[in-house]
Structure 1
Amino acid sequence: MTVWDRPEPPTRPAPLDRERIVAAAVALADEGGLEAVSVRKVAARLDVGPMRLYGYIATKQELFDLMVDEVYAEILPGEQPGDWREVLRVRADRTRKAALRHEWLADLLGGRPTLGPNALAVGEATLAALDGLADLDTVVRAVETVSAYVTGAIRREIADLRAERATGLSERDWQRASGPHLKKMLDTGRFPELAKFVYDGTDVDAEVSFATGLDWILDAVAAKLARPPA
């Protein structure tokens, strides 16, 4: 039985429900990451004993599942776009923005799908947008491919943000600090392609990089969907 199937216990003696528990857990994670979330800490935030929470959640993993599903409510748009590309683009963009608001989400994306109502609604809307464009296996692989790109790109961006906070160096500051060593290595002539990348490549911000990569992935998906079945 999943956490969504298990009924909540009575609220006595103090009002308590999963909604309040999840809101407290999300707030703790937003402040200090997943390591800041525990049954004891959530209980303290709610000013109740830790054992009270076990009537609502059995494990910390269930709590994480509930937290992820809570954020999925932010990902599902209020109005579904008509074009399948726009559906996938909007989902990707809203997932990235949700992860920037809740950085811990990057640590929980991927892996086994969450079965909460909000996550299922996002999955349903995504598959519905592609329904009839190709056979089911092709549609599922297309969704998996886009999801893999989105998850990887988000994790990389969040990792950069965490590194910036940990070192106290912005991306530009880090580049300046690392510049002398990198120049010395490139001047050896052993890395000509990297040298072209460093000296001639265009530097873009994370949002532009994400959108560009997503367009390329969607182009590849469109080509696959347009290909007649073998």
Structure 2
Amino acid sequence: MTVWDRPEPTTRPVPLDRERIVAAALALADEGGLEAVSVRKVAARLDAGPMRLYRFVSSKEELFDLMVNEVQGEIVPEGQPADWRETLSALAHRTRQAALRHEWLADLLGGRPALGPNGLAVAEATLAAFDGLVDVDTAMRAVETVSAYYIGAIRREIANLRAERATGLSKHDWQRASGPHLTHMLATGDFPALAKMVHDGTHVDAETSFTTGLEWILDAVSAKIGPPA
């Protein structure tokens, strides 16, 4: 039986419910990442004994499931977009924005399907955009292709943000610090394609890079299954 199927117990003396438990877990994760979250730490945040929380969640993994479902409420489309391309684009951008607000989400993206009500709502809205246009297998491959791109891009962006905090160097400062080494290596002539990229390439911000890559992926899917109706 999943956490979604078990009824919530009555609580005494400290009022508890899954909503309060998830809110506390989200606060801990937003402050310190997933490593800051455990049933005991959430219980301490709520000034409750950990054994009481185990009546609501049986494991840390269930707690993570509840947390992901809560954040997916921020990703569920507002209304039904016009077509599959707009739907997938909105899903990608809303997932990125959610991950920037809750960086720990990047660590949980791409795993097993989310079975919470918000996760199922996201999946329903996504697949419904293809209804009547292509067969279900083609729709699934299209969704998998686009999600593989934006999950990877989000994880890379979050990893870069974490690296900046860990080193204390912004992207610009890191480039300046590593510049002499890179200049020396490129001067050997062993890396002509890399040298051309460094000297002639246009460096864009993370959002522009994400949006450009997403549009290319959507173009590729459109070429395979046909443009939106």
Identify the TM-score tier after normalising by the shorter chain. Answer: over 0.9
Q: Displacement, 1:54?
A: 0.3
Match of 1:159 in 2: 159
Question: For residue 45 of structure 1, what is the amino acid of its counterpart?
Answer: R
Seq. identity, %:
78
Match of 1:119 in 2: 119
Q: Displacement, 1:77?
A: 2.4
Extract structure 1 runs of 4+ deviating beyond 2 A.
none
Q: Displacement, 1:78?
A: 2.1
Aligned equivalents of 2:11, 2:17: Cα separation in 1:
7
Output the TM-score relative to the length of structure 2: 0.97
How much is the aligned-residue C-alpha RMSD, in angstroms?
Answer: 0.9
Q: Displacement, 1:60?
A: 0.3
Aligned equivalents of 2:12, 2:162: Cα separation in 1:
41
Is 2:83 the partner of 1:83?
Answer: yes
**Unpaired stretches in structure 2, ≥5 consecutive residues:** none
Q: Displacement, 1:83?
A: 1.8
Output the TM-score relative to the length of structure 1: 0.97
* Alignment size in residue pairs: 227
More moved, 189-198 vs 128-137: 128-137
Match of 1:143 in 2: 143
Aligned equivalents of 1:173, 1:13: Cα separation in 2:
53
Does the 8 Å contact 2:69/2:117 carry over to 1?
yes
Q: Displacement, 1:76?
A: 0.8
Q: Displacement, 1:61?
A: 0.2
Is 2:194 the partner of 1:170?
Answer: no
Q: Displacement, 1:136?
A: 1.3
Q: Displacement, 1:226?
A: 2.0
Aligned equivalents of 2:9, 2:56: Cα separation in 1:
7
Q: Displacement, 1:133?
A: 1.8
Match of 1:50 in 2: 50
Match of 1:19 in 2: 19
Does the 8 Å contact 2:25/2:42 carry over to 1?
yes
Does the 8 Å contact 2:96/2:154 carry over to 1?
yes
Question: For residue 70 of structure 1, what is the amino acid of its counterpart?
Answer: E
Cα deviation digits, residues 170-223 of structure 1 (max 9, x gap): 000000000000010000000000000100000000000000000000001111
**Unpaired stretches in structure 1, ≥5 consecutive residues:** none
Q: Secondary structure at the match of 2:129?
A: helix
